[in-house]
Amino acid sequence: MTKSVLPPSDQLTLTPQERVDLWLASFESALSDRDIDRVARMFEVDSFWRDLVAFTWNITTVEGRDGVTEMLRARLDDTDPSNFHTSEVPEEDNGVTSAFIEFETAIGRGKGHLRLKGDEAWTLLTTMEELKGFEERLGPHRVNGAVHGPRGATQTWAEKREIEERELGYTRQPYVLVVGGGQAGIALGARLRQLDVPALVVDKHERAGDQWRKRYKSLCLHDPVWYDHLPYLPFPENWPVFSPKDKIGDWLEGYTNLMEIPYWASTRCMSANFDEELEEWTVVLDRAGQRVVLHPKHVVLATGMHGKPNVPDFPGQDVFRGEQHHSSQHPGPDAYAGKRVVVVGSNNSAHDICQALYLNGADVTMVQRSSTNVVKSETLMDLGLGDLYSERALAAGITTEKADLTTASLPYRIMHEFQIPIYEKVAERDKDLYDRLAKAGFKLDFGDDGSGLSMKFLRRGSGYYIDVGASDLVADGSIHLASGQVERLTEDAVVLTDGTELPADLVVYATGYGSMNGWAADLMGQDVADKVGKCWGLGSATTKDPGPWEGELRNMWKPTRQEALWFQGGNLAQARQYSLYLGLQLKARYEGIPTPVYGLPEVHHLS
């Protein structure tokens, strides 16, 4: 049995602040004494310590007292943590005391979050926020901009930028090459810029933001503005709740310029090979028809959370006389008024495309091959995100930083337990919609365990639709619905395995994407892709997320089994938050700071 710091009767009289202060003081004392057994006894038997770089130079979660013990035996001496304290008044709810905390290590400063049950830790989050002596150029560390005095500056800001653009990638090599210039690459580019790490972001499109501009014209972000801020430069207060694709494209382009991110558009990465002796990459680029060879020390694949489009191989595709393309190549509805369209798939893209086609006069059929989690946008905003990312949250003092720390503080192992009650309320609130969809034959689910959209996103990155209007069109038959698997295509139809024939002039394959390591296979070879294994997913042993349990998203924002290869992806919120932790890992390596990685996971799935 673990002994309480104070007798139970005294514990009951403590305020939340006193309870947390007492725990932190005891925790720091045990760490300082290197008494790892005493530290471990301060955690519940079923407890979780999630560390984002601060202790482990990794993104990892250790579970239980044994996990805490093993991690600290490997990392306590080097980390040498100290100065633990709260950053604001703790709160107590249903027997759990919660607190935002700050601390220091031998080489950095960190923030985190603590949950206590009684006088034992249930969850602990520790994150590295900055490296001592290598702080981001923010606030008191911002650059002066002008050189005052009688001798002044000999070069203007514009001239310095011109020299950098002329030299970087030619006479001066980037330390980091970021392949992919959407929100993930741009956010990381901004972080590396502020950390003074020479980095170059390259993208195949003609302009930053084209990744959004070139999608189907009805596309809008399904996540709200409060959730989607990028580092350093939040959206203005008049920004719409849901950003239209062209507007977010323009924002990304403007952000790239304002953040002075070295960015090569119209640039394709052709190949990348790592030299283990030189510890550097040889990367061949095609920059607007010019062959450029770079030798960065690190390569980051920032191609979103997905890999290459999954284009199914159905018999008869070669004889089909109409048009067919993947949803990523769908131009929008304008050319298909009066046409018969079959959309294979029933998740976000499928619904968006079907809705736009129907509204523009096409005869649309959605083919649902497996069940879908449908959540109304307004319901998700209220029940799923409202307490953390909304005007309501801001009024309650929940800044984006606090919301990010709160979200990060919840270990993935138990996250579904918090999501299930939310989706029980969702099901009750929107019962009428779900009843109408079921009556129309639409197959619904709330995830394998009822934990809904958020867990589906983390586990598999698919299987859901945030409803912005298409569900009503499915329910009333305006968008036709067919259920089953595609058997083949004929010259003018899609045929399902039950014999149903769906006449078509256009077939859209809204069939998702593969793992991000598919890009590694193309650029670096299948051996490298297999070495790092599958990206994304938790190992939850649910649909499309095979076990064993891994505890964190596979390969994302952290060291991989391929030296000097990293993956940066996810939605805008993840691009914002996790770009910091990846940026700090790269900064430490750039400055020669030792980065012994704890908990590098085994590879269980190749793709």
**What is the Cα–Cα distance from 390 to 413, expressed in whole angstroms?**
26
Per-residue confidence band for 447, with pLDDT thresholds at 50, 70 and 90? very high
What's domain 16-131's architecture? Roll (3.10)
- pLDDT tens readout for residues 40-78: 999 999 999 999 999 999 999 999 999 999 999 999 999
Q: Does the pLDDT value for residue 304 go beyond 80?
A: no
- List the domain boundaries for the chain: 16-131, 167-307+514-536+558-591, 314-513
For residue 149, the model assigns a pLDDT of 64
Q: What is the mean pLDDT of residues 586-607?
A: 95
Q: What is the DSSP string of 411-455?
A: -HHHHHHHHHHHHHHHHHHTHHHHHHHHHTT--B-S-TTS-HHHH
Q: 167-307+514-536+558-591 with 314-513: one CATH topology?
A: yes
**What is the Cα–Cα distance from 418 to 405, expressed in whole angstroms?**
16
- pLDDT tens readout for residues 534-548: 999 999 999 999 999
Cα dihedral across residues 117, 118, 121, 126: positive or negative = positive
- 190-226 burial, b at 16+ Cβ within 10 Å, e below that, comes to bbbbbbebbbbbbbbbebbbbbbbbbbbbbbbbbbbb
Return the SS3 of 83: strand
Return the SS3 of 131: strand
Q: Are 217 and 173 in contact (CB under 8 A)?
A: no
pTM (predicted TM-score):
0.95
Residue 160, judged by CB atoms within 10 A of its CB (0-12, 13-18, 19+), counts as exposed
Q: Does the pLDDT value for residue 37 go beyond 50?
A: yes
Q: What are the CA-CA distances from residue 589 to residues 56, 260, 297, 302, 442 (Å)? A: 14, 22, 10, 19, 51
What is the H or E stretch that residue 169 is in? none
Fold of 314-513: FAD/NAD(P)-binding domain (3.50.50)
Lowest mean pLDDT among 212-226, 380-394, 415-429, 453-467: 212-226
Residue indicated by tokens 């709330």:
446
Return the SS3 of 287: strand
Q: Name the CATH superfamily housing domain 167-307+514-536+558-591.
A: FAD/NAD(P)-binding domain (3.50.50.60)
Q: Does the pLDDT value for residue 305 go beyond 80?
A: no
Q: What is the mean pLDDT of residues 401-422?
A: 97
Q: What is the DSSP string of 375-386?
A: EEHHHIIIIIIT
Closest to 375 (Cα-Cα) out of 316, 335, 422: 422
Q: What is the mean pLDDT of residues 599-607?
A: 91
Q: What are the CA-CA distances from residue 513 to residues 214, 239, 326 (Å)? A: 17, 30, 10
Q: Does the pLDDT value for residue 222 go beyond 60?
A: yes
The one-letter amino acid at 65: R
Residue indicated by tokens 């990638």:
169
For residue 117, the model assigns a pLDDT of 97
Return the SS3 of 239: coil
Per-residue confidence band for 441, with pLDDT thresholds at 50, 70 and 90? very high
Angle between helices 183-194 and 572-590 (to 10 degrees): 40
- pLDDT tens readout for residues 280-294: 999 999 999 999 999
Residue 171, judged by CB atoms within 10 A of its CB (0-12, 13-18, 19+), counts as exposed
**What is the Cα–Cα distance from 260 to 162, expressed in whole angstroms?**
11
Q: What is the mean pLDDT of the chain?
A: 95
